[in-house]
């Protein structure tokens, strides 16, 4: 299973059992959700991956960098609490937070986007 699929189908549903599993999207947000009527929802995508730890011209591990975007209403969801819950939750699964920011949505002033990036290494 790819790290994106793992985070969407296994990690986030366990970290956020109160959120419907249909609100964790790998790679692409369905058009129906762009109305922002159901919040929060999550988008997980791969930023990059690279082979590492070489031996005899073969790699022994692969490094992944993932991005988790959370679309929230900042009047309802506490930004700092959400960031902390995601970071600490994914850390239990071997994902280390390396970048984070939050910003208002460019087209909807009532929506805020939390952006978190994580690295993860898997042995071959």
Give per-residue pLDDT as tens, 12-21.
Answer: 999 999 999 9
| Predicted pLDDT at 113 | 97
Q: Which residue has the tokens 């850390």?
A: 91
Tell me the average pLDDT across 26-40. 91
| Predicted pLDDT at 55 | 59
CATH code given to domain 3-123 = 3.30.2000.30
Residues 33-60 as b/e (b if ≥16 CB within 10 A, e otherwise) read beebeebbbbbbeeeeeeeeeeeeeeee
**Domain-wise residue ranges, the chain:** 3-123
Mean pLDDT of the chain: 92
pLDDT tens across 53-89, in order? 555 566 678 899 999 999 999 999 999 999 999 999 9
């Amino acid at each position: 299973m790819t790290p994106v699929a793992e985070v969407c189908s296994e990690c986030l549903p366990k970290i956020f059992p109160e959120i419907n599993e249909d609100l964790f999207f790998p790679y692409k947000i369905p058009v129906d959700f762009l109305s922002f009527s159901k919040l929060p929802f999550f988008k997980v995508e791969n930023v990059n991956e690279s082979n590492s730890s070489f031996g005899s011209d073969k790699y022994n591990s692969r490094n992944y960098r993932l991005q988790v975007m959370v679309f929230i209403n900042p009047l309802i969801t506490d930004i700092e609490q959400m960031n902390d819950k995601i970071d600490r939750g994914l850390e239990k699964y071997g994902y280390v937070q390396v970048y984070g920011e939050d910003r208002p949505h460019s087209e909807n002033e009532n929506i805020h986007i939390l952006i978190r990036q994580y690295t993860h290494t898997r042995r071959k």
